[in-house]
């Protein structure tokens, strides 16, 4: 008897194997996708958190900077959505050299009642001031000051770049009030900056980052008005 | 693999973001620390200014400070009088162990925002009145100039190291705000070994003098009762008037915790040092609790060493006359162990030199200083008389008790009479013995008191009908009415009563020797109503003088009106350890005193930061801002 020729047996995956493999792959894919999504969520949350924290620090730093040199306590806008901070105008834009601001002049005067004022411009013997404005609009806060970076106006001159957004994702304007516990003249200003930013882009209701930073600043140039 | 790549990309992005934000935190922290370093520089420079007030120009900067030149090798540019090291900055030793194991440095520039030859832009520097000059010439600079009265500019640069790699923030807004220098100092262009945050603060400090408030106590103020009044007037506008020369700068302030206003009227502010104001319902100004004014004790070492050469031993108990000098820089100096004038009409005259007198009763200024190393006491009709035109500064180490006529200031301006309480020698336990000043005269008192170690009582004696006269001296009439322009009234009458009884008073005036002779206590001569101190007659008819026409120069209708209601007036400014105002005493603060007197300390009047810098060439002071291309 002649032996039947042997054919190499074709080994395939059994259905069961395929099902198992597919299941495992699905598990891996699902796990991976879940990890990616989680990582993306984590990335988004971290990014949002870090950005908002940076915004908070920036806003506090700007407010502290401007309030320290203010000549009077800040005034709140009528709609409660902004403040005006008056700052002595010691330095003035000079069109001949737009990259620098020059000291206006030097001089000081004591008024007849003994109060003092510093006039840096003898040609204009009065205290000149500039106003720095903070406004809240659509969750962002802008800051506009007369010493904003200058940009070319296209005709050889320079103009202020205008209000700059310094913080985003806020749900309200900061609380800025005189700290009457310390001082009744308004020279000490207390302010709280709270963010209730919603994580983006996976916005979920009530899933917010709410952090309040507190600061107290003494209005150091207030004596100028005394 | 794809999944691994995706995960790696996401994880990498997350890591980059986290690291960048991590560095942002460090940069922000360093930026915050740099302003602390700058403010420390301002504080220390202010401290040095105050030290100069006491120790003079020899006062040195803090131990360990250096005065190396700026990196450019040039003195700080400018205008102004560099103080005192030719414009070089003072460098505070580096402070280690900060955020990220970095250090901070402070560099301080101190100068005058005027010029050495033209400080005229600064008005306070021009107050060269006698009472504003330092007694001890050693407190002035080597050239004899008293620069304590100048306004100073302090620029303090705080530098804090930034940990982490020299990498800008991913948000340009943070870069613009904090302007971290990574490889080169953006102010000087100098290369840096490591990143740093630097912030510059510029302030102008003005000198503050002792008499900024009507009443200033180191401890407590007690106004005693509702008849007390504290308000202000401006002596450059004439005499006090409750209607035409009256102000609301009658501030009362204490470094302590308590002011008992006792329902007294205060036309001004009431300020404590974290304390309370009780019964302050008649205070018209603000009440605050954040007051503090450093009181520099007046020590024997701050007095002119030349006093030792003019010592006149013994206590003065009877009449004496010392003539003032017309040279303000070389005043007459009188050095006594004490002044004790008993009842009996003894008068110590601080007289004007003959050349300074004029026929119309006015005098050119003359100057005298008296140093009493003991007590000053007056009683009854005895007095210390400071002649018209004489500027007198009296130093004393003991107690002062002014009764009766007290000290009569002929010029009737507070700045012409200064009472300076000198700190007595310390007890063995380091404390200082208590000293008192009691001003309880029957006369008005015009003068200034600076005595941080003394307890002061202002309690002028209420003038009742039949009591002594409330003023003495000449009343000059400058009108043209040939008739007698004054009415004389009894002391407690009101102006309405004066009008009603006009004829009666004219009759009484006639009784008291209109033409003047025989020692009458008042007389008319050359359009002057002279009121002499013939106390026997005065005690029979206390009087007021009311103006009917023309101008009364040296006795105002308001003074007379005050007296008519039983009030006596104190005109000037007062600084002491404690202050009590009693009786019906009215304190009228002279507003011109705000900038008069020796400088006590300095006050920051403006604050600007991150504003000015030297440019890269060491030339003009400029506000630096990066060029458009760099932005």
Task: Determine the Cα–Cα distance for residues B472 and B381; give it in Å rounded to an integer.
Answer: 12
Would the CB atoms of A62 and B605 count as touching at under 8 Å? no
Q: Which helix (H) or strand (E) holds B128?
A: none
Q: How far apart are CA B309 and CA B299, in angstroms?
A: 18
- Positive or negative torsion for Cα B103, B109, B110, B114: negative
Position B373 pLDDT exceeds 90: yes
**pLDDT tens readout for residues A80-92:** 899 998 877 665 5
pLDDT confidence band for B87 (50 / 70 / 90): low
Query: A129-137 and A140-144: which strand pairing?
Result: antiparallel
Give me the pLDDT at residue B268, please.
Answer: 95
Question: Residue A162 is encoded by which pair of tokens?
Answer: 């205008």
Residue with tokens 């420390």: B40
Residue A6 CB neighbours (<10 A): 6
Output DSSP code: residue B426.
P
Q: How far is B418 from chain A (nearest CA, A)?
A: 20
Q: Report CB contact under 8 Å: A220, B607.
A: yes
Question: pLDDT at residue B516 above 90?
Answer: no
**H-helix or E-strand spanning residue B210:** none
In this predicted structure, the answer to whether residue B493 has a pLDDT above a threshold of 50 is no
- Inside any domain, residue A48: yes
> Does B435 score more than 90 pLDDT?
yes
| Structural domain boundaries, residue A38 | 16-89+128-225
Contact A147 B623 (CB under 8 A): yes
Which residues 258-317 of chain B have a CB within 8 Å of chain A? Answer: 286-290
Per-residue model confidence as pLDDT tens digits over B582-595: 988 889 999 988 87
Which of B402, B436, B422 is closest to B585 using CA atoms?
A: B402
The tens digit of pLDDT for each residue in B539-574 reads: 333 344 443 333 232 334 445 445 444 456 899 999
From B31, B290, B609, residue closest to A182, measured CB to CB:
B290
Task: Flag if B615 and A110 touch (Cβ within 8 Å).
Answer: no
- Quote the CA–CA distance of B624 and B631 in Å, as a whole number: 13
pLDDT, one tens digit per residue, over A4-35 is 666 666 677 888 988 999 999 899 888 888 87
Q: Is B216 buried (19+), middle (13-18) or exposed (0-12) by CB count in 10 A?
A: buried
Contact B31 A61 (CB under 8 A): yes
Q: Looking at residue B625, what is its pLDDT?
A: 34
Who contacts B309 (Cβ-Cβ below 8 Å, separation ≥6)? none
Whether omega before A128 lies within 30 degrees of 0, making that bond cis, reads no
Do the Cβ atoms of B606 and A99 come within 8 Å?
no
What chain B residue is nearest to A89 in terms of C-alpha separation?
Answer: B608
Can you tell me the mean pLDDT for B392-398?
A: 96
**B53 falls in which pLDDT band (50, 70, 90)?**
confident
Give pLDDT tens digits for A39-81.
777 777 777 777 877 888 888 888 888 888 777 778 889 988 9
DSSP per residue, A124-179: S-S--EEEEEEEEETTEEEEE-TTSPEEE-SSS-EEE---EEEE-S-SSPPEEEE-
B256 has a pLDDT exceeding 90: yes
In a domain, A132, yes or no: yes
Asked if residue B506 has pLDDT above 60, the reply is no
Measured torsion, CA atoms of residues B280, B283, B285, B290, in degrees rounded to the nearest 10: -30
Choose among B159, B155, B156, B190: nearest CA to B31. Answer: B159
Contact B606 A108 (CB under 8 A): no
pLDDT band (50, 70, 90) for residue B363: low
**Using the beta-carbon criterion (under 8 Å), do A106 and B121 form an inter-chain contact?**
yes
Q: Is a pLDDT exceeding 80 seen at residue A220? A: no
pLDDT level of residue A209 (50, 70, 90 thresholds)? low
To probe the interface with A, which of B623, B628, B631 has the most A CB atoms within 10 Å?
A: B623
pLDDT 10s digits, B282-292? 999 988 888 88
Could you tell me if residue A77 is inside a domain? yes
The partner residue sitting opposite A58, judged by closest CB among B177, B591, B606, is B177
Q: Which residues are registered as beta bridge partners of B421?
A: B396
Q: How far apart are CA A200 and CA B391, in angstroms?
A: 78
- The whole-angstrom distance between B592's CA and the closest CA on chain A is 7
CB-closest option in A36, A100, A185 to B622: A100
CB B445 within 8 A of CB B572: yes
B622 close to A (CB below 8 A): yes
Looking at residue B349, its pLDDT comes to 94
> Residue A69: its pLDDT value, please?
77
* Residue A113 domain-assigned (yes or no): no
| pLDDT for residue B117 | 40
What pLDDT, on the 0 to 100 scale, is given for residue B527?
A: 37
B539/A contact by beta carbon, under 8 A: no
Phi and psi at B94, nearest 5°, equal -60, 140
Which residues, listed in sequence order, are joined to residue B476 by a DSSP beta bridge?
B528
Q: Chain A contact for B603, CB < 8 A?
A: yes
Q: Which residue is listed with tokens 């023309």?
A: B550
- Which tokens hold the place of A157? 């001159």
- B120–chain A Cβ distance below 8 A for any pair: no
Interface residue of A52, A57, A71, A225 to substitute, partner B, most B CBs within 10 Å? A57
pLDDT in tens, B303-341: 888 898 888 878 999 999 999 999 988 999 999 999 999
Do B606 and A107 count as a contact with CB atoms less than 8 A apart?
no
Would residue A173 count as lying in a domain?
Answer: yes
Tokens of A159: 């103009």
- E-assigned strand segments in B342-434: 347-351, 366-372, 376-378, 383-386, 390-396, 400-404, 406-409, 417-421
Nearest chain A CA: its distance from B619 CA (Å): 12
Q: Given this model, what pLDDT does residue A34 score? A: 83
How far is the alpha carbon of A11 from chain B, nearest alpha carbon, in Å?
27
Residues of chain B contacting residue A221, judged by C-beta atoms under 8 Å apart? 605-608
More confident residue, B266 or A215: B266
Average pLDDT for residues B91-101, to the nearest whole number?
76
With an 8 Å Cβ cutoff, are B609 and A65 in contact? yes
Query: Measured over all CA atoms, what is the biggest interatomic distance in chain A, rounded to whole angstroms?
Result: 137
pLDDT, position B420: 96
Q: Which residues of A touch B622 (CB under 8 A)?
A: 100-102
pLDDT of residue B453: 93
The answer to whether residue A103 sits within a structural domain is no
Q: Say which DSSP state B350 is in.
A: E
Amino acid B402: pLDDT? 95
Supply A38's token pair. 């989680």
pLDDT for res B499: 41
Residue A174's alpha-carbon distances to A70, A167, A177, in angstroms, are 18, 11, 10
Please give the angle made by the CA atoms of B294, B297 and B302, to the nearest 5 degrees. Answer: 125
Residue contact B7–A39, C-beta within 8 A: yes
Contact B212 A151 (CB under 8 A): no
Residue A5: what pLDDT?
A: 62
**Of A46, A100, A223, which is closest to B623 when you measure between CB atoms?**
A100
**How confident is residue B372, by pLDDT bands cut at 50, 70 and 90?**
very high
* Contact present, B195 and B162 (Cβ < 8 Å): yes
pLDDT of B520 higher than 70 = no
For B360, other C-beta atoms within 10 Å of its C-beta total 13
Q: Is B449 exposed, middle or buried, given 0-12, 13-18 or 19+ CB atoms closer than 10 A? A: buried
Our CA-based measurement puts residue B54 at a distance from the nearest CA of chain A, in whole angstroms, of 24
Higher pLDDT, B238 or B456: B456
Quote the crossing angle between the two packed helices A15-68 and B2-55, to the nearest 10°. Answer: 20
Query: CA B551, CA B194: separation in Å to the nearest integer?
Result: 76
pLDDT at B478 over 50: no
Residue B215's pLDDT is 97
C-beta separation of B275 from B254 below 8 A: yes
How many domains, in total, are found in chain A? 1
Contact between B449 and B574 under an 8 Å Cβ cutoff? The reply is yes
Residues of chain B contacting A152 with CB distance shorter than 8 Å: 628
| pLDDT band for position B511 (cuts 50, 70, 90) | very low
Per the CB < 8 Å rule, is A113 touching B249? yes
Q: In the predicted model, what is the mean pLDDT of chain B? A: 74
Q: What is the predicted pLDDT for the residue at B329?
A: 87
Chain B residue with CA closest to A147: the answer is B625
Other CB atoms within 10 Å distance of the CB of residue A30: 10
Q: What is the mean pLDDT of chain A?
A: 70
Q: Are A149 and B7 inside 8 Å of each other by CB?
A: no
b/e B128-161 (16+ beta carbons within 10 angstroms → b): ebbbbbbbeeebbbeeeebbbbbbbbbbbbbbbb
Q: Are B288 and B303 in contact (CB under 8 A)?
A: no
Strand ranges, E, within B215-275: 215-217, 220-222, 229-233, 252-254, 258-260, 265-266, 270-271
Looking at per-residue pLDDT, the higher value among B181 and B492 belongs to B181
Strand-pairing partners, residue B153, are B111, B204
**What's the mean pLDDT in A146-174?**
72
Residue B458: Cβ-neighbour burial (10 angstroms; 0-12, 13-18, 19+): buried
Query: Does B594 reach chain A within 8 Å, measured CB to CB?
Result: yes
Which pLDDT value is given to residue B535?
A: 31
Question: Which chain B residues contact residue A223 at CB under 8 A?
Answer: 603-606
Euclidean distance between CA atoms B30 and A144, whole angstroms: 25
For B1, half-sphere exposure in the C-beta direction (CA atoms, 13 angstrom radius) is: 0
- pLDDT band at B449, cuts 50/70/90? very high
Highest mean pLDDT among A75-84, B248-257, B475-484: B248-257
Quick one: what percent of chain B has pLDDT higher than 70? 70
B204 touches chain A (CB under 8 A): yes
pLDDT grade, residue A224 (50/70/90)?
Answer: very low
Q: Determine which helix (DSSP H) or strand (DSSP E) holds B352, and give its type and residue range.
A: none
Residue A78 lies in a domain: yes
- Give the range among A3-7, B261-265, B344-348, B437-441 with minimum mean pLDDT: A3-7
Partners of residue B37 on adjacent β-strands: none
Q: Is the pLDDT of residue B153 over 90?
A: no
* pLDDT surpasses 90 at B621: no
Which residues of chain B lie closer than 8 angstroms to A58, CB-CB?
Answer: 173-174, 177
Q: Which own/partner pairs from A50-53 qualify as long-range (CB within 8 Å, at least 24 positions apart)?
A: A50/B17, A50/B18, A50/B21, A50/B24, A51/A168, A51/A169, A51/B21, A52/A168, A52/A169, A52/A195, A52/A197, A52/A209, A52/A211, A53/A211, A53/B21
Helix or strand holding residue B153 (H, E): strand B152-161
Mean pLDDT is lowest, of A159-168, B302-311, B354-363, for: B354-363
Cα B628 from chain centroid (whole Å): 49
Tens of pLDDT, residue by residue over B104-130, are 888 887 766 544 443 334 434 446 688
Paired tokens of B309? 């050469």
Q: Give the model's pLDDT for residue B178.
A: 82
| DSSP per-residue letters across B454-510 | EEEEE-PPPP-TTS--S--EEEEB-S---S--EEEE-TT--HHHHHHTHHHHHHHHH
Question: Which residue in chain A has the smallest CA separation from B249?
Answer: A113
A179 within some domain: yes
Please state the three-class secondary structure of B513-525 as a single string.
Answer: CCCCCCCCCEEEE
B374 CB-contact burial (10 Å; exposed 0-12 / middle 13-18 / buried 19+): middle
ipTM at complex level: 0.72
The region of weakest confidence among B79-83, B236-240, B346-350 is B79-83
Top pLDDT among B400 and B86 is at: B400
pLDDT of residue B58: 72
- State how far residue A165 is from chain B, nearest Cα, in angstroms: 9
Q: How confident is the model at residue B401 (pLDDT cuts 50, 70, 90)?
A: very high
Please state which of the ranges A67-76, A163-172, B113-122, B224-233 shows the lowest mean pLDDT: B113-122
* Candidates B247, B606, B621; nearest CB to A103: B621
pLDDT tens, residue by residue, A69-79 = 777 778 889 98
């Amino acid at each position: 008897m002649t032996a039947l020729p042997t054919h190499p047996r074709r080994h395939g995956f059994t259905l069961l194997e395929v099902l198992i493999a597919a299941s495992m792959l699905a598990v891996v894919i699902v796990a991976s996708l879940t990890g990616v999504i989680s990582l993306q969520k984590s990335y988004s949350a971290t990014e949002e958190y870090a950005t908002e924290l940076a915004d908070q620090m920036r806003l506090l730093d700007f407010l502290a900077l401007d309030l320290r040199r203010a000549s009077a306590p800040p005034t709140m806008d009528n709609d409660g959505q902004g403040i005006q901070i008056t700052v002595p105008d010691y330095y003035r834009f000079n069109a001949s050299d737009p990259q620098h601001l020059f000291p206006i002049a030097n001089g000081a005067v004591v008024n007849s009642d003994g109060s003092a004022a510093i006039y840096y411009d003898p040609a204009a013997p009065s205290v000149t001031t500039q106003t720095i404005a903070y406004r809240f609009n659509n969750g962002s806060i802008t800051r506009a000051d007369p010493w904003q970076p200058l940009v070319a106006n296209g005709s050889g001159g320079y103009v202020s770049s205008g209000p700059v957004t310094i913080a985003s994702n806020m749900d309200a304007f900061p609380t800025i009030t005189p700290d009457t516990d310390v001082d009744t003249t308004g020279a000490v200003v207390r302010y709280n900056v709270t963010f209730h930013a919603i994580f983006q882009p996976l916005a979920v209701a009530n899933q917010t980052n709410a952090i309040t930073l507190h600061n107290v600043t003494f209005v150091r140039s207030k004596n100028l008005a005394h | 693999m794809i999944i691994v790549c995706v995960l790696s990309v996401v994880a990498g992005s997350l890591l980059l973001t986290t690291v960048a934000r991590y560095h942002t935190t460090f940069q922000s922290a360093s930026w915050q620390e740099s302003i602390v370093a700058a403010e420390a520089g301002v504080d220390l420079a202010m401290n040095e200014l105050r030290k100069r007030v006491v120790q003079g120009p020899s006062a040195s900067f803090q131990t360990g400070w250096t005065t190396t030149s700026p990196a450019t090798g040039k003195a700080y540019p400018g205008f102004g009088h560099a103080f005192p090291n030719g414009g070089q900055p003072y460098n505070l030793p580096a402070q280690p162990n900060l955020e990220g194991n970095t250090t901070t440095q402070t560099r301080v520039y101190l100068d005058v925002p005027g010029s050495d030859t033209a400080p005229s832009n600064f008005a306070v520097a021009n107050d060269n009145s006698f009472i504003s000059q330092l007694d001890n010439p050693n407190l002035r600079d080597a050239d004899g100039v008293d620069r304590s009265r100048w306004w100073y500019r302090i620029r303090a640069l705080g530098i804090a190291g930034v940990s982490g790699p020299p990498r800008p923030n991913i948000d340009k807004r943070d870069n613009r705000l904090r302007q971290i220098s990574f490889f080169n100092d953006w102010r000087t262009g100098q290369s840096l070994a490591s990143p740093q945050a630097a912030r510059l603060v510029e302030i102008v400090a003005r000198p503050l003098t002792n008499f900024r408030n009507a009443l200033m106590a180191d401890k407590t103020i007690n106004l005693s009762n509702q008849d007390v009044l504290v308000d202000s007037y401006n002596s450059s506008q004439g005499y006090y008037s409750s209607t035409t020369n009256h102000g609301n700068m009658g501030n009362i302030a204490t470094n302590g915790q308590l002011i008992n206003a006792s329902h007294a009227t205060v036309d001004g502010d009431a300020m404590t040092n974290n304390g309370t104001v009780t019964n302050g319902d008649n205070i018209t100004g603000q009440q605050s609790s954040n007051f503090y004014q450093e009181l520099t004790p007046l020590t024997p070492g701050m007095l002119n060493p030349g006093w030792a050469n003019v010592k006149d031993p013994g206590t003065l108990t009877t009449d004496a006359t010392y003539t003032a000098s017309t040279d303000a820089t070389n005043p007459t100096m009188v050095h006594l162990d004490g002044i004790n004038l008993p009842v009996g009409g003894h008068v110590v005259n601080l007289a004007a030199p003959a050349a300074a007198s004029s026929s119309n009763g006015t005098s050119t200024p003359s100057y005298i200083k008296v140093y009493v190393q003991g007590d000053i006491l007056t009683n009854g009709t005895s007095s210390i008389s400071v002649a018209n035109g004489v500027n007198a500064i009296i130093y004393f180490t003991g107690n002062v008790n002014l009764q009766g006529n007290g000290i009569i200031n002929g010029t009737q301006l507070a700045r012409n009479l200064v009472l300076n309480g000198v700190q007595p020698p310390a007890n063995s336990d380091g404390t200082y013995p208590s000293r008192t000043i009691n001003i309880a005269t029957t006369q008005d008192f015009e003068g200034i008191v600076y005595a941080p170690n003394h307890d002061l009582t202002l309690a002028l004696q209420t003038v009742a009908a039949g009591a002594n006269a409330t003023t003495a001296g000449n009343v000059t009439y400058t009108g043209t009415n040939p008739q007698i322009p004054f009415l004389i009234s009894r002391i407690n009458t009101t102006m309405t009563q004066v009008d009603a009884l006009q004829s009666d008073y004219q009759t009484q005036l006639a009784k008291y020797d209109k033409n003047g002779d025989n020692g009458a206590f008042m007389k008319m001569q050359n359009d002057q109503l002279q009121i002499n101190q013939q106390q026997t007659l005065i005690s029979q008819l206390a009087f007021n003088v009311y103006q009917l026409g023309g101008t009364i120069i040296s006795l105002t209708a308001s003074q007379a009106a005050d007296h008519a209601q039983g009030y006596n007036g104190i005109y000037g400014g007062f600084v002491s350890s404690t202050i009590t105002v009693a009786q019906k005493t009215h304190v009228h603060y002279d507003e011109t005193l705000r900038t008069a007197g020796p400088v006590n300390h300095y006050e920051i009047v403006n604050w600007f930061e991150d504003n000015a810098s030297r440019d890269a060439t060491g030339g003009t002071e400029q506000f630096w801002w990066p060029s458009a291309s760099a932005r």
